[in-house]
Structure 1
Amino acid sequence: MASSDSDADADDRRPHALDTFTRRGVTMMFGPKVLTHPILLAIDQGTTSTRVIKYELLGFHYKERDGERKDLRPIQSAQHPHKQIHPKPGWVEHDPEEIIENIKKCYREVGGAFTMAVGITNQRETIVAWDSETMKPLHNAIVWCDARTAEIVSRFSEKEKHMVFQKTGMPISTYFSATKMRWLLENSKDVQKAAARGTLRFGTMDSWIVTKLGARRDSNNQELPNVHVTDVTNASRYLLMNIETLEWDDDLLNLFGIKKEWLPRIVSSAERVSGWAGNPSVTKDKEKIELEVYGILGDQHASALGHRLREGDSKNTYGTGCFAMRNTGKTITRSKRGILTTVCWKLGKDEEAEYALEGAVAVGGECIRWLRDEMELVSDANEVEECAKTVTDTGGVTFVPAFGGLFAPHWRDDSRGVIVGLTRYAKKAHICRAALEAIAYQSMEVLEAMELDCEENSKSKKRKKTSSSDGDAKLLSVDGGASVNDTLMQIQADVLGKSVRRPANIETTAYGAALAAAIGAYKRGVYSWYGNSKEPMTVRDVLGEDNQNANDGSKLFESKSTKEERAKGRSRWEDALQRTYGLDTYCDKEQSYNM
């Protein structure tokens, strides 16, 4: 961290920029609207775009007002896409500087100055390498779904794989950050030179954002060193953190050949990790953006917090990929079915970590984009749903979009996509519906594997089954861009044989990041600067029993399928799945190249 604990405490006693501003009157910035609620920002840095959403904190006012429930209300947002770079088949990269510029654009468009706290949520596993002196990236970011490290993955023995799984809860895969760092060290001359100079820094997108945009002033307005941190949820995806100690593990570092000084310091998901931004009205550089960061969560963990998942609850996010997560509380449940054991969150440096089971599907909404952009079957994503609704089934067509391999629960790097069951009768509508079914069946596999793992964990500990945390959950909460597709949600309910609940506000990822920032600000005493006697946003306000229906206006999709129909569909899916194995032999091989 940029400052010592004593410096941080001193910072928390100073007047805040927003406090100074509100005393002068807010109408100069917000026109006729007088600000009565604290303002928070959520930066949602995703795989295809970056968003910034401004929230006001309800139930807490600069002036006392009773009867308002504690929650966050979105009031403004901005979004900018970034380029997807594909140097070779199976390779995916992003320009780290483009992403920073997009954050700045969004920040200015929503009027981000004078916010009380900032929460960051980000695409996980995607790795950035930069030089700590120049603050410039040494290579494009290697994205989580990139498959170039398959050869590196194949080097490890079964004993080494077992050790990694026991310490991290995850298998060695192209998915995670450590193999991407290893590839950069072996293939990028710029990374090698920075390592030799001692200026190499690695980090996921949260680390990169905080390093580039985190506030760097102490209580005396003096500039501090750059901050190099990541939170426990992002750190749990490196394959380098021990999920029991929540620290970088020496055995893992040695195995992958990564030095600890190249890595960010691990912090909790809800605490201040930056310095003080100062008052923008008196800052010399009016264009400079300095974020006061109080919360960081990987995207799926932020989504889980946005759904306010308690122990035993499950959610699924339908984005570029699909990500199912089940909160297992303070219990580390190790999977026997290819499901990941991960940190759910740690809401404060003095709080206990909560854990989760997670199943990641590499290709979710991405297969819809593939139908549009590569196959040109449709002109826009909405047309897929319209086509799918014109038929009652797929006509026997099954689509497995294993473009770069399969993630949970199979973990097959040698798989490639297939469309099977084609007949002269098959038409565009059948393929569109098969694409939606592919998303639902992949999600089904990971959700069912989680339930079985929880059931076995309960039996092994001889616990009396008292809640859904020990087995079957009857309701699935959903979010993500593709969740607006009613046909997909109904197919998901039918495939699972369970109800699917979609909240009115599906932006749960950004919402969760803002909640983490609100909790982090409370823990640092920020609210006391405003002289309000009310208790501010706490962990209980977010996860207490009275707050489980925070998103009013949700839509419920009830299953309409029979047990026989589900069994027949599963058999057809599993048959197609088997046909994907080993097809990498016939696809272009990734070759090493030097930059």
Structure 2
Amino acid sequence: MSDRFLLVLDEGTTSTRAMLFDAHGKPHGSAHQALTQHYPQPGHVEHDATEIWHRTLACAREMVGEAGGADRIAAIGITNQRETVVAWCKQTGEPLARALVWQDRRTADHCLTLREAGHEERVQHNTGLLLDPYFSGTKMRWLVENEPAVAAAAQAGTLALGTIESWLVWKLTGGAHLSDASNASRTLLLPLAGAQFDPALCDLFGVPTAALGEVVDTHGNFGSTLPELFGAPIPICGLVGDQQSATIGQGCLSPGETKATYGTGAFILANHGEALPRSAHRLLGTVLMQDRGKRTYALEGSVFVAGSLVQWLRDSLGLLGTAAETETLARSIPDSGGVVIVPGLSGLGAPHWLPEARGVIAGLSFSTGRAEIARAALEAMAHQTYDLAAAFAADGAEWTSLRIDGGMSANDWMAQDIADLLDIPVERPNFVETTALGAAKLAAVGCGTYPDLATASAAMRGGLGHFTPMMDGATRQRRLANWERALAAV
């Protein structure tokens, strides 16, 4: 396919994109559309699955046109916001309710009930996950129990449930119901050592097994698009959750190699090889990738609020004109003036797992201005990452360096602050959209352009920027002490 392209559909939380890559990983075009965020009440976050489909299709068609037609596309790779749940009708192919987004917290009480009933240890041992509304299983149950159209479809046997890649594959192919192992491992319904969704776990969470798709590899041939969508069929050859995709895009293919993605949330994954990941410090075990049934696992820490904190400061409080302004403001002052932000706007994720937590801005005084709050928002990224680094180290997976990516990582001040607070080197690729690159690599292997991911990564490698720790120990300890005090208030 030396003269053909890879088309990546990158389904994010706030937008959908389509990107063209060549066989060397060089981007050749991008189309982008925003997604509407629905907040019907506090703690509820929803998307319109029909909007997701229409806007994804529009972006894909734009890129197919830019490539010169469907015959110029070797394969499609799909990467997506994980844990978000869509319910649709198998007969009509139309959604039956709004999608529940991974940030949605409406099932917190049900998770607490399951924990109090003693189910968390069993669930964590089987799935690598904790009982938290973040994951898909309790969202699926909520839809079945609270949306009449979903309940009726479940009763009639016409209900389909899936994460975003499942929804897009169904629409693109006209009815293939699949879930790749990386996304399926985020549902609470797939045992880490099991090939398919487990009926016993489905019973525990109240999810009809018949509504779920077949669990498949992250790369291979998953069928082709309907001819009428792009003028000719295009094979779908890569499916992967966004954080696993970024890990692959960063080339973390050996055990111990670790990446952190700073987007809407922040997600740290360390390659764990073929050994089942077990955490005693409330980290997550997850499937990184699957090739012909053989799995590579990862240990993961998930932070719910990262870039969305800056977005909140900009859009809800009006303190910023643009997200990029935070770097200028942070550099304009010597420190945050004692201001510390604990960004618990959607609860706290790993390693704390406090879904009921709310955000805190501590240390305010009459001298506090926009610059102090903006700098504290960026410092919160390093603080949350430090907590995760400590948990990984306690689980025997200490970091010696960290590879970062995602939209926020373009902020040089923040990248340096992370290196300073963690006291380890930080690497950032010159091309920071590694989530899309990971899906391109998987699609390239799935369609046979490369024999394996190691070869694909070597051929599609880009340059790196480096950030070396410069902070003195006393300053680091003061920062961490202030963070701990603010965290205790949460």
Is the CA contact 1:343–1:356 (under 8 Å) kept in the aligned structure 2? yes
- Where do residues 55-204 of structure 1 align in structure 2 (5 Å cutoff)? 55-57=21-23, 71-111=24-64, 113-114=70-71, 115-156=73-114, 157-204=116-163
Is the CA contact 2:221–2:446 (under 8 Å) kept in the aligned structure 1? yes
- Where do residues 456-471 of structure 1 align in structure 2 (5 Å cutoff)? 471=397
Query: Which residue of structure 2 lines up, in the alignment, with residue 366 of structure 1?
Result: 308
Quickly say closer, same or farther: Cα 1:289–1:89, change in 2 above 3 A. farther
- Cα offset, 1:288, TM superposition: 6.5
Query: Which residue of structure 2 lines up, in the alignment, with residue 476 of structure 1?
Result: 402
Q: Aligned equivalents of 1:537 and 1:501: distance in 2?
A: 27
- Per-residue CA deviation, residues 516-573 of structure 1 (Å, 9 max, x unaligned), is 1111111xxxx6xxxxxxxx34233036xxx399212x21111111223222211111
- Per-residue CA deviation, residues 334-382 of structure 1 (Å, 9 max, x unaligned), is 1111111111111x225x2111111110000000011111111111111
- Cα offset, 1:250, TM superposition: 2.4
Match of 1:227 among 162, 176, 195: 176
- Per-residue CA deviation, residues 276-322 of structure 1 (Å, 9 max, x unaligned), is 756xxxxxx47678542111000000000101102111100010000
Provide the alpha-carbon RMSD of the alignment.
Answer: 1.7
Q: Aligned equivalents of 1:233 and 1:556: distance in 2?
A: 29
- Per-residue CA deviation, residues 378-407 of structure 1 (Å, 9 max, x unaligned), is 111112221111112111111011012111
Q: Name the TM-score, length of structure 2 as normaliser.
A: 0.95
Match of 2:241 among 298, 310, 317: 298
Q: Aligned equivalents of 2:231 and 2:384: distance in 1?
A: 44
Q: Aligned equivalents of 1:320 and 1:540: distance in 2?
A: 29
Say which one has the larger Rg: 1
Match of 2:456 among 542, 545, 555: 542
Quickly say closer, same or farther: Cα 1:446–1:290, change in 2 above 3 A. farther
Quickly say closer, same or farther: Cα 1:391–1:158, change in 2 above 3 A. farther
Query: Which residue of structure 1 lines up, in the alignment, with residue 8 of structure 2?
Result: 42
- Where do residues 231-246 of structure 1 align in structure 2 (5 Å cutoff)? 231-246=180-195
Match of 2:223 among 252, 274, 281: 274
Is the CA contact 1:104–1:289 (under 8 Å) kept in the aligned structure 2? no
Q: Are 2:272 and 1:331 equivalent residues in the alignment?
A: no
Q: Aligned equivalents of 2:285 and 2:382: distance in 1?
A: 22
- Where do residues 347-386 of structure 1 align in structure 2 (5 Å cutoff)? 348-350=291-293, 352-386=294-328
Query: Which residue of structure 2 lines up, in the alignment, with residue 448 of structure 1?
Result: 390
Query: Which residue of structure 2 lines up, in the alignment, with residue 459 of structure 1?
Result: none
Letter in 2 for 1:316: A
Q: Aligned equivalents of 1:344 and 1:320: distance in 2?
A: 20
Query: Which residue of structure 1 lines up, in the alignment, with residue 355 of structure 2?
Result: 413
SS of the aligned residue for 1:335 comes to coil
Query: Which residue of structure 1 lines up, in the alignment, with residue 338 of structure 2?
Result: 396
Q: Aligned equivalents of 1:432 and 1:542: distance in 2?
A: 39
Q: Aligned equivalents of 1:503 and 1:167: distance in 2?
A: 35
List runs of 5+ in structure 1 lacking aligned partners: 1-34, 58-70, 217-225, 279-284, 456-470, 528-535, 581-595
- Per-residue CA deviation, residues 455-476 of structure 1 (Å, 9 max, x unaligned), is 2xxxxxxxxxxxxxxx433221
- Where do residues 526-541 of structure 1 align in structure 2 (5 Å cutoff)? 536-541=450-455
Is the CA contact 2:389–2:398 (under 8 Å) kept in the aligned structure 1? no
- Cα offset, 1:50, TM superposition: 0.7
Q: Aligned equivalents of 1:520 and 1:36: distance in 2?
A: 15
Is the CA contact 2:61–2:230 (under 8 Å) kept in the aligned structure 1? no
Query: Which residue of structure 1 lines up, in the alignment, with residue 413 of structure 2?
Result: 487
Q: Are 2:256 and 1:307 equivalent residues in the alignment?
A: no
Q: Aligned equivalents of 1:122 and 1:556: distance in 2?
A: 28
- After the TM superposition, which of the residue ranges 502-511 and 153-162 deviates more from structure 2? 153-162
Q: Aligned equivalents of 2:178 and 2:152: distance in 1?
A: 23
Letter in 2 for 1:190: A
SS of the aligned residue for 2:404 comes to strand
Runs of 4+ in structure 1 displaced over 3 angstroms?
A: 275-278, 285-291
Is the CA contact 2:111–2:138 (under 8 Å) kept in the aligned structure 1? yes
- Per-residue CA deviation, residues 420-478 of structure 1 (Å, 9 max, x unaligned), is 1112222211111000011111122113311221x2xxxxxxxxxxxxxxx43322111
SS of the aligned residue for 2:442 comes to helix
List runs of 5+ in structure 2 lacking aligned partners: none
SS of the aligned residue for 1:159 comes to coil
- Where do residues 21-36 of structure 1 align in structure 2 (5 Å cutoff)? none
Q: Aligned equivalents of 2:451 and 2:165: distance in 1?
A: 23
Is the CA contact 1:308–1:542 (under 8 Å) kept in the aligned structure 2? no
Is the CA contact 1:294–1:517 (under 8 Å) kept in the aligned structure 2? yes
Match of 1:573 among 480, 483, 487: 483
Q: Name the TM-score, length of structure 1 as normaliser.
A: 0.79
SS of the aligned residue for 1:512 comes to helix
Is the CA contact 2:182–2:240 (under 8 Å) kept in the aligned structure 1? yes
Quickly say closer, same or farther: Cα 1:408–1:246, change in 2 above 3 A. farther
Q: Are 2:200 and 1:251 equivalent residues in the alignment?
A: yes
Is the CA contact 1:213–1:291 (under 8 Å) kept in the aligned structure 2? no
- Where do residues 555-594 of structure 1 align in structure 2 (5 Å cutoff)? 555-580=465-490
- Cα offset, 1:575, TM superposition: 1.1
SS of the aligned residue for 1:154 comes to helix
Q: Aligned equivalents of 1:173 and 1:305: distance in 2?
A: 26
Q: Aligned equivalents of 1:49 and 1:197: distance in 2?
A: 34
SS of the aligned residue for 1:85 comes to coil
Query: Which residue of structure 1 lines up, in the alignment, with residue 288 of structure 2?
Result: 344
- Cα offset, 1:158, TM superposition: 4.8
Is the CA contact 1:277–1:292 (under 8 Å) kept in the aligned structure 2? no
- After the TM superposition, which of the residue ranges 311-320 and 331-340 deviates more from structure 2? 331-340
Quickly say closer, same or farther: Cα 1:277–1:262, change in 2 above 3 A. closer
- Report how many residues are paired: 483
- Per-residue CA deviation, residues 108-155 of structure 1 (Å, 9 max, x unaligned), is 211262211111000000000001011110111100011111121122
- Where do residues 414-429 of structure 1 align in structure 2 (5 Å cutoff)? 414-429=356-371
Letter in 2 for 1:478: I
Is the CA contact 1:324–1:447 (under 8 Å) kept in the aligned structure 2? no
SS of the aligned residue for 2:477 comes to helix
Letter in 2 for 1:305: I
Q: Aligned equivalents of 2:406 and 2:21: distance in 1?
A: 19
Q: Aligned equivalents of 2:366 and 2:207: distance in 1?
A: 54
SS of the aligned residue for 1:570 comes to helix
Q: Aligned equivalents of 1:209 and 1:333: distance in 2?
A: 29
Identity across matched positions, percent? 39
Is the CA contact 1:204–1:234 (under 8 Å) kept in the aligned structure 2? yes
